[in-house]
Structure 1
């Protein structure tokens, strides 16, 4: 695990922004995140298959796998904790191939997704589950972008400030889940 302190990232991300990241790095993300869960990902895959445009250009962007709760008065968004990322695995390579630079969720990613990430330049960040209300405080603006009928699973454009995450899968084959298991086995 890296001991480099917190790394500040600003979206959109370039390949140069993510190349130095290593699994275990703690990051603070600022700028725009797009929200999308499995239902929205399925619709984006259908749009691509039909030759239709996506609701947003994934080039350099970061998708946060979240279905936020309704916003309280005076807040842009309600509690917004990460969703299990493997639910997006069938669709993620399609977006990664189109320039997606980051994904935020919880849990492991498939070999196919990790391969696409290394090949096309994308990093997977983990957000801490159980911190939905705290993560929502990092959201300064929220705007509906597409698929309103999906309710909380609609695509939203969030503007965030110092959104905390940890690098799980980097461009160099690093996998924090594997590294953590290996460290635990050595300690046992």
Structure 2
């Protein structure tokens, strides 16, 4: 992205906005919203606070852009592949194996920034928490849609809720340092249960 982007006042920003969002995303992913200060952000990005406020409004504005970046570039879920799987157990395996890969891909950024972000927070950040919850709910809806070839709508909705809960647990365990091989064991147990139920 071009470095000579102009804020509202017309003066060029002295930093790469795209790189700033990427840097912020990684900080928020590692430490959570409340674990990252404006000072941490400005130091990592290499700008003074006024430049950061001019570019993003405030820390919350930068966090929302970082969340959007995370969804776009680190989702790790191929929902099209899920919908075209030969059976429901295969679809579930594809979904959960993608989730395990996504949350264990980088040792220093384990878990999912959206799944585990702002689950609990200071009341001042309630609006951000609602945004994170809405993103989780939107993903659940997309999973239900991907499962629709395998089950009636009410069953696909229920299954998506269950799988979203499993994925959230996988994300938290990944943040706790659980090995991907152990997380794969969860995938096998879930798939086996679904296969038995649909036998």
Q: TM-score, normalised by structure 2?
A: 0.22
Q: Which has the higher contact order (CA 8 A, sep 6+)?
A: 1
- Greater Rg by CA: 2
The structure with the largest strand share of the pair is 1
Tell me which protein shows more helix as a share of its residues: 2
